[in-house]
Amino acid sequence: MNTKQAVLVVDDLAVDIRGAAVLGGVSLAIHQGEALGLVGESGCGKSMTALAILGLLPRGAQMRSDSSIRLQGAELVGASEQALCKVRGGAVGLIFQEPGACLDPVMRVGRQIGEALQLHRGLRGAAQQAVLRDLLVEVGLNDTDRVARAYPHELSGGMQQRAMIAMALAGEPVLLIADEPTTALDARIASQILDLLDRLRRDRGLALLLISHDLAVIGGRCDRVLVMYAGRAVESAPATQVFDAARHPYTTALIAASPGLAGVTPKSPLRDIPGQLPAPGGGRDGCAFAERCTLARSSCGHRVPAWTPVAAEHAVRCLQYEEGWSC
Amino acid sequence: MSASRAGRASTAQRAWQSAKVRYSCLLILVLLLITLGAGWLSPYPYDEIDAAATFSAPGQRYLIGADALGRDVLSRTLHGGRMSLVVGLLATLVAVLVGVPLGALAGYLGGRIDWLISRVVDLLLPFPVILLAIITKMLLGDGLVSVVLALSLVLTPFFARMARAKALSVAQLPFIEAAQGSGLGTGRIMWLHVLPHCFQPVLIMATLSVAFAILAEASLSFLGLGLPPPAPSWGGDLQASMSAFQLAPWTVLAPGCAITFAVLAFNFLGDGLRDVFDVGERFL
Amino acid sequence: MAHHGLLISSGLRVATAGGTLLAVAAIVFILMRFVPGDPVLNWLGTSYEKADYDRLRALYGLDLPLLQQFMIWFVNLLQGELGYSVLTQLSVSEELWRRLPTTLELILLALAVALPLGIGSGIWAAWRYGKMADHAVLTATLLGISLPEFFVGAILMLGLALQWRIFPATGFEPFSWSTEHFAHMVLPALALGLPRAAVICRLMRGSLLEVFGRPYVRASLAKGLSRKMTLFAHGIRNALIPVVTVIGLQVGYLVAGAVVVEKLFVIPGVGAYGLNAVTARDYPSIQGFILVVAAIFLIANLIVDLLYLWLDPRIRTSARGPSR
């Protein structure tokens, strides 16, 4: 067990939208300085998890009352809006997929970062400017004057994302949540941004929740990986074990379908996963992956598998391990 | 996207789901019945003058009172609707038939044709209806044609601009290239692929156009720039009654409320349709 | 660099507006010449002397070739000379110039009613989306956009002036910073401004609702700003941008409405002048009137365009106008 303190503990997080379950009991824990990768197809609920942690659910979405989200011991579920506002952009920073769209197009970038500095650290005027410059340099935007005075559309995609990271750092967070931070960026820039996140994690001792549908992104950068499918977590393992010794059928399929992983050569065909993600709330009594799973048995459609440990710090939701199938 | 007859049927079904749409269609139906049936519903002929009954208050004999010439206000109001409705529908029809193809062509073909059409549209767009009505009245004299023309000139640019935007968005799609490659002429491509995409926004804009046209026609009649006197019209009646306002407010209130009712019905329909189809285009 | 772009864009807009005005003037001139019937005959009536006929034709230069007429007229136009009214024998430009402030004041007062009311209620309705307040505003504005200006004016007149005698019904007091003057302007300004307020309210509401769905609003909340702070810091300014462009169009409707209101409340403005000219077929006056109206809304649109440039930094770098 990791002896470092747990920064974020999520227990049984469940979210419904208009009665249909979009998140069905997700649990995770991130420790100080640790990077947890959250991976899964589009629509599996990864982004929803991130938003739920900060209480930023869209209209019509309801968190179930038995969910628990504890940040450094303090319970966030049921907390007042005021308390949540302190956490957002403060103890927890959040960066999104399309940085350009996430910046106010008619406000200068420096001022937008300044907003966070004023809000969370009460900095104004010259003091704010000084810290702003430091932040910009820290994220690799060295031409601080130009960037601070620029409007978002005047910056490149990579620079916009760096600016967003600076904004997230303004509140001196202990946890940084990055929701698909590189999906909209060029491969080269994406790699730079991920390196930046790595560096920040080491320098500041940040915990990082990295969300992506791309296993290659999660691959070398995270300590632990949580695989999600249709609103539930199905496998939780240290990063090394996930790629070498994945246990859940979905995880293995995901790896097989990812170019650049698991020894897939340019000539070999990519193995697609047949079928589609089920729609939320589709009367699920059993494992959501059952209909697409090559190993599924009849019992898979009746029971949601419970977490079954299969190795050190490695657990899986799959009946074949829970019931101990022999093959 | 409704790109077929079946698509259009389901559009109608979806539209009917909305309560707003249902109620407003009911209102419009009432409106149509009243105006078309004005002849049967009116207790008196609208031009029957009775000097003795001048400015009679609303009562048993004249349900909404009588005007300056002793004419029954109710009958006049019922008949006034005809002209307003005809003008409104005609002007909208012309604007759609001229504006949509022009705009779609401009968006689809691009280049110099687009530039030319866009310049003309931009020029016409901000012109107030009054100016155009004055000009058409000068050129074509009084009458239905001049009023309809003026209103159409005001409305056409809006349809053209919207159709152009839709055509631009569709022209990028790969199946258009495929259609072009298979030898289909511009006309057929426009008819089969481009125009159907305009259907929903055109429908919304058309309902709002009718509302606008009825309102504008009433204003023009009020100013004396609309349809000539003998024809009963809401705006004209209002204008004629303004001087006797204090004496006989019903002569002003009746046509005013009638106009408001008609315009409201169409605006309500446009609102309901916009809710259903969620088109972002802000028209008026 | 950014300021350079701003100057060039502004300059282009001004030039375009000026060019359009000249084009309008030319079109008006041509159209006037195409009006059926002989204008001089109209003015003279049924019995006239041939000598008078010839004199009038010569006076108005109607016996010259068309191109020469145009040149004379154009040169006069550039000097601000718009000819003389057939009806009153007074200078058209002088008369219009005298009446212009009244109409402009009416329009500005109407805007002073419409803008705060419309934008304010639009924001409020969007903030309370789906609740009673929102429905109430939607219903009220539906009525507001369906009421003709003259009816609003008539009802106001009936209620506040004739029934309860709070404001004078018609008439006009020359401009002064006094209650007499403004008392006469209140009802006309309301009649003109309230329907516009309804339109602007809907626009603002729609625009703000759209902005609420944008990623940067979610990002602002994720930054820790409260909903209210997000509204004021990021929401309103972005929502105003598309509304501002449409307000330029609204000025056109305002000018048209001013004509109506001036007639209803008997206010001696440009609109009343134009209306009389049309009824009397007083062509020089009609031409002048059309030009002045065109100038007003071209200038208004120009102001709006420039405002838009200032509000939205994204288009400052491109010289072309916003696609409205």
pLDDT tens, residue by residue, A44-81: 888 889 999 998 888 778 888 888 888 888 888 888 88
CB contact under 8 A, C313 and A105: yes
Chains A and B contact (Cβ–Cβ under 8 Å for 3 or more pairs):
no
Interface contact flag, C224 A119, Cβ < 8 Å: yes
Using CB atoms, which chains have 3+ pairs under 8 A with A?
Answer: C
Contact C145 B284 (CB under 8 A): yes
Say if B and C touch: at least 3 Cβ pairs within 8 Å.
yes
Report residue A121's pLDDT band, with 50, 70 and 90 as the boundaries.
very high
Q: Report the alpha-carbon distance of residue B200 to residue B206 in Å, rounded.
A: 10
Whether residues B263 and C146 touch (CB distance < 8 A) is answered with: yes
Transcribe B236-263 into DSSP letters. Answer: HHHHHHGGGTTT-THHHHHHHHHHHHHH
Distance CA B274, CA C286 (A): 40
CB of A164 within 8 Å of a chain C CB? The answer is yes
Is any Cβ of chain C less than 8 angstroms from the Cβ of A94? yes
Under 8 Å between Cβ of A193 and A180: no
* Distance to chain B for C59, nearest Cα, Å: 22
pLDDT of residue B265: 92
β-bridge partners, A10 = A28, A69
Q: Quick check: is B146 in a domain?
A: yes
pLDDT of residue A243: 78
Chain B residues within 8 A of C36 when measuring between CB atoms:
139, 141
pLDDT for position B133: 82
Min Cα separation C147/chain B (Å): 5
Residue B94 covered by a domain: yes
Neighboring chain C residues of A55 at a CB cutoff of 8 Å: none
pLDDT band with cut points at 50, 70 and 90 for residue C322: very low
pLDDT over 70 for what percent of chain C?
A: 84
What is the model's pLDDT at position C324?
34
Predicted confidence at residue B39, as pLDDT, reads 73
* Segment C241-279, tens digit of pLDDT: 889 888 877 887 888 889 889 988 888 888 888 888 887
What percent of chain A is modeled with pLDDT above 90? 35
Interface contact flag, B223 C145, Cβ < 8 Å = no
Task: Give the pLDDT of chain B (284 residues) as one tens digit per residue.
Answer: 444 555 566 777 777 877 888 888 888 888 888 888 777 777 777 677 777 767 777 777 777 777 777 777 788 888 888 888 888 999 999 999 999 988 888 888 878 888 888 888 877 776 777 778 887 877 777 778 888 888 999 899 989 988 888 888 877 777 777 777 777 777 777 777 777 778 888 888 999 999 999 988 888 888 877 777 667 778 778 777 777 777 777 788 888 888 999 999 999 998 888 888 764 433 33
At C76-119, the pLDDT tens digits run 777 767 777 766 777 778 888 888 988 999 999 999 999 999 99
pLDDT at B190: 74
* Predicted pLDDT of residue B283: 35
- pLDDT for A109 beyond 80: yes
SS (H, E, C) chain C: CHHHHHHHHHHHHHHHHHHHHHHHHHHHHHHHHHCCCCHHHHHHCCCCCHHHHHHHHHHCCCCCCHHHHHHHHHHHHHCCCCCECCCCCCEHHHHHHHHHHHHHHHHHHHHHHHHHHHHHHHHHHHHCCCCHHHHHHHHHHHHHHHCCHHHHHHHHHHHHHHHCCCCCCCCCCCCCCCHHHHHHHHHHHHHHHHHHHHHHHHHHHHHHHHHHCCHHHHHHHHHCCCHHHHHHHHHHHHHHHHHHHHHHHHHHHHHHHHHHHHHHCCCCCHHHHHHHHHHHCCHHHHHHHHHHHHHHHHHHHHHHHHHHHHHCHHHCCCCCCCCC
Q: Pick the residue with more confidence: A178 or C74? A: A178
Say yes or no: C212 contacts chain B, CB-CB below 8 A: no
- Closest chain C residue by Cα to residue B135: C31
Do C255 and C293 meet the contact criterion of CB atoms below 8 Å apart?
Answer: yes
pLDDT at A7: 87
- Smallest CA–CA distance from B126 into chain C, residue: C249
Inter-helix orientation angle B250-277/B73-109, to 10°: 30
Task: Give how far A132 is from chain C: nearest CA, Å.
Answer: 15
Region A292-320: mean pLDDT is 79
Within 8 A of A81 by CB-CB distance, chain C residues are 226
Answer whether residue B25 is part of any domain. yes
Looking at the domain that runs over A6-91+173-268, which CATH code has it been given?
3.40.50.300
Subunit contact A151:C241, Cβ cutoff 8 A: no
**C with A: 3 or more CB pairs under 8 Å?**
yes
Mean pLDDT of the region C150-178: 77
pLDDT band at A111 (very low <50, low <70, confident <90, very high): very high
With bands split at pLDDT 50, 70 and 90, how would you rate the model's confidence at A159? very high
Q: Which chains touch C (3 or more CB pairs under 8 A)?
A: A, B
The closest CB to that of B224, out of C203, C279, C324, belongs to C279
When pLDDT is averaged across residues A126-140 and rounded to a whole number, the result is 93
Q: B41 or C143: which carries more pLDDT confidence? A: C143
| Min distance C36 CA to chain B CA atoms (Å) | 7
Whether chain C has a CB inside 8 Å of the CB on A232: the answer is: no
At residue C249, the pLDDT reads 79
- Chain C residue with CA closest to B129: the answer is C256
Give the pLDDT score at A60: 78
Chain A positions in Cβ-Cβ contact with residue C223 (cut-off 8 Å): 88-89, 115-116, 119, 167-168
Q: Is there a contact between C151 and B224 if contact means CB atoms under 8 Å apart?
A: no
What was the pLDDT predicted at A4? 66
Q: Does C221 touch chain B (CB under 8 A)?
A: no
C220 pLDDT band, cuts 50/70/90, is very high
What pLDDT, on a 0 to 100 scale, did the predictor assign at position A192? 92
The CA distance from B137 to the nearest CA of chain C, in Å, is: 9
Residue C2 has pLDDT above 70, yes or no: no
Chain C: closest CA distance from residue B108 (Å): 17
Q: What is the pLDDT of residue C285?
A: 82
Global pTM exceeds 0.80:
yes
Choose, out of A85, A86, A183, the residue to mutate when testing the contact with C (most C CBs < 10 Å).
A85
| CB contacts, 8 Å: C253 with chain B | 128
pLDDT tens, residue by residue, A14-42:
888 877 788 888 888 898 889 999 998 88
Q: What is the CATH number of the domain that holds B210?
A: 1.10.3720.10
Mean pLDDT across the stretch A311-320? Answer: 81
**What's the pLDDT at B93?**
95
ipTM above 0.90, yes or no: no
* Average pLDDT score over residue span A276-300: 70
C259 touches B: beta carbon within 8 Å: yes
Q: Identify the pLDDT of residue C267.
A: 87
Interface subset of B 213-252, CB within 8 angstroms of C: 215, 218-219, 222-225, 235, 238, 242, 245-246, 249, 252
Percent of chain A past pLDDT 70, that is, above it, reads 90
pLDDT score, position C3: 59
* pLDDT score, position B210: 93
The alpha carbon of residue A310 is apart from the nearest alpha carbon of chain C, in Å, by 37
Mutate to test the interface with A, among C129, C211, C216, C311 (most CBs of A within 10 A): C216
- Tokens standing for B271? 């609102």
Comparison of pLDDT for C70 and C184, the residue scoring more = C184
pLDDT band for position A96 (50/70/90)? very high
Taking contacts as CB-CB distances below 8 angstroms, the residues of chain C near B134 are 274, 278, 286, 290
Q: What is the number of domains present in chain B?
A: 1
The partner residue sitting opposite C224, judged by closest CB among A102, A120, A151, is A120
Q: In angstroms, rounded to a whole number, what is the distance separating the alpha carbons of residues A15 and A8? A: 18
| Chain position carrying tokens 């769209």 | A101
The domains of chain A are located at 6-91+173-268, 100-171
Q: Does residue B111 sit within a domain?
A: yes
More confident residue, A223 or C56: A223
Whether chain A has a CB inside 8 Å of the CB on C222: the answer is: yes
Q: Which of residues 100-119 of C touch B (CB under 8 A)?
A: none
Please judge whether C297 and B128 are an interchain contact, meaning their C-beta atoms are less than 8 angstroms apart. Answer: yes
More confident residue, A243 or B210: B210
Q: How many residue pairs from chains B and C have C-beta atoms closer than 8 A?
A: 122
Burial environment of residue C44 by CB neighbours within 10 A (0 to 12, 13 to 18, 19 or more):
middle
Q: What is the pLDDT of residue C118?
A: 95
Of C36, C146, C290, the CB nearest to B131: C290
What domain range is B239 assigned to? 18-35+72-277
Q: How far is CA C129 from CA A18, B273, C56, in A?
A: 18, 19, 65
CB of C292 less than 8 A from some CB of B: no
For B248, counting Cβ atoms within 10 Å of its Cβ (0-12 exposed, 13-18 middle, 19+ buried), the class is buried
pLDDT score, position B188 = 76
Q: To the nearest whole angstrom, how far is the Cα of B263 from the nearest Cα of chain C?
A: 5
